[in-house]
């Protein structure tokens, strides 16, 4: 009999920064291989997995904007960074024999497929991991928003954010040693308190579509699968 899991279809957002490992830039092959393996375990549990990888290990548009440059051009570069990471993750999955497809919000047909909800749906139903690259395809957004958008479009039961911290705190735990961690919190409270672990647009989109958020440390080996099994450490964001 199939093992029971909390969700049957999820969107996993992995922050680009998490792929750095010990490096200052780019992708640590050991890290991406471990994450690919954990995604494969989720598929083996019968979970349909959509995957969004951020671009923070390569480029963020705000870097250019803060230096007085053109934000739109910077965001275009950031979106391309997310495509690079998606291709890297696709390779890592395929090396492990985990079938996956890359759909980009920005058409680049010689490199990967252009996003189509219908084709992504068919791929998920066939137990393929679906990588959503290029964020929303628009500047002034982030991959958190892209992940919330795809989670809504694909009818995901939860949006997992795998990041460098083990949940949502009352303040950024990397800056405030007195920050207090939440086990559960509502979307409304995350927004009202201005908690920055995910961007506001993403939290609002998840709230409006009744999608719970699960914030956990992707640095913690097996956390993703443990949480799917009803164990593991995470902050759950859900309506009261
Ligand atoms: N209230 C909070 N609770 C938890 N983390 C917070 C909070 N406020 C800010 N953060 C910070 O938010 C970060 C999460 O964002 P993350 O690094 O995953 O960025 P991202 O934009 O999603 O991904 P990328 O690295 O691809 O740009 C954490 O590392 C944490 O330091
Ligand atoms: O919809 C989107 C998604 C992303 N961007 C740009 O890409 C970078 C990297 O994404 P992160 O979410 O920060 O990892 C982001 O900083 C934006 O510059 C975008 O423009 N639109």
How many CB atoms lie under 10 A from the CB of residue 137? 16
Q: Is 232 among the domain residues?
A: yes
Pocket test for ligand 2, best of 51, 75, 144, 159 (most atoms within 8 A of CB): 75
Note down the domain range covering 179. 9-237
- Ligand 1 neighbour 199 (Cβ under 6 A): no
Q: Is 1 among the domain residues?
A: no
Atom of ligand 1 nearest to the CA of 54: 26
End-to-end Cα, the chain, rounded Å:
33
- Ligand 1 neighbour 144 (Cβ under 6 A): yes
Taking the C-alpha atoms of residue 91 and residue 71, their distance in angstroms, rounded to an integer, is 30
Q: Is 146 among the domain residues?
A: yes
Q: Is 135 among the domain residues?
A: yes
What is residue 240's predicted lDDT score, i.e. its pLDDT?
A: 72
Per-residue confidence of the chain (240 residues) as pLDDT tens digits?
A: 467 899 999 999 999 999 999 999 999 999 999 999 999 999 999 999 999 999 999 999 999 999 999 999 999 999 999 999 999 999 999 999 999 999 999 999 999 999 999 999 999 999 999 999 999 999 999 999 999 999 999 999 999 999 999 999 999 999 999 999 999 999 999 999 999 999 999 999 999 999 999 999 999 999 999 999 999 999 999 987
Annotated binding-site residue? 180? no
What is residue 3's predicted lDDT score, i.e. its pLDDT?
A: 77
> Which residues 6+ apart lie within 8 Å of 189 measured at CB?
none
Annotated binding-site residue? 141? yes
Record the pTM. Answer: 0.98
Task: Considering every ligand atom shown, identify the ligand nearest to the alpha carbon of residue 16 and give its number.
Answer: 1
Task: Considering every ligand atom shown, identify the ligand nearest to the alpha carbon of residue 17 and give its number.
Answer: 1
What is residue 2's predicted lDDT score, i.e. its pLDDT?
A: 62
CA angle 137/18/9 to nearest 5° reads 60
**Is 187 in a helix, a strand, or coil?**
helix
For residue 168, what is the domain's CATH number?
A: 3.40.1160.10
What is residue 227's predicted lDDT score, i.e. its pLDDT?
A: 98
Number of structural domains the chain divides into? 1
203 in Cβ contact with 213 (< 8 Å): yes
Q: Is 4 among the domain residues?
A: no
8-state DSSP, 174: T
133 in Cβ contact with 108 (< 8 Å): no
Q: Is 196 among the domain residues?
A: yes
Q: Is 2 among the domain residues?
A: no
> Which residues 6+ apart lie within 8 Å of 185 measured at CB?
168, 195, 235, 236, 237
- The ipTM, to two decimals, is 0.97
């Amino acid at each position: 009999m199939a093992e029971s899991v909390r969700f049957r279809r999820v969107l996993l957002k992995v922050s680009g920064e998490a792929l750095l490992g010990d490096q200052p830039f780019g992708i640590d092959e050991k890290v991406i291989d471990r994450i690919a393996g954990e995604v494969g375990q989720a598929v083996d549990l019968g979970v349909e997995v959509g995957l969004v990888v951020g671009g923070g290990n390569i480029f963020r548009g705000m870097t250019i904007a803060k230096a007085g440059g053109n934000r739109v051009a910077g965001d275009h570069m950031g979106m391309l960074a997310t495509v690079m990471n998606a291709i890297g993750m696709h390779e890592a999955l395929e090396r492990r024999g985990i079938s996956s497809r890359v759909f980009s919000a920005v058409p680049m047909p010689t490199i990967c497929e252009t996003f189509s909800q219908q084709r992504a749906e068919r791929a998920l139903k066939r137990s393929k991991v679906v990588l959503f690259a290029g964020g929303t395809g628009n500047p002034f957004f982030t991959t958190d928003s892209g992940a919330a958008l795809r989670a809504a479009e694909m009818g995901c039961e939860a949006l997992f954010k795998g990041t460098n911290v083990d949940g949502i705190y009352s303040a950024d735990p990397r800056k405030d040693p007195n920050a207090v961690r939440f086990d559960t919190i509502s979307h409304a409270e995350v927004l009202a308190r201005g908690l920055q672990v995910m961007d506001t647009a993403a939290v609002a989109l998840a709230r409006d579509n009744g999608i719970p958020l699960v914030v956990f440390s992707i640095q913690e080996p097996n956390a993703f699968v443990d949480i799917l099994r009803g164990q593991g450490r995470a902050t759950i964001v859900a309506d009261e």
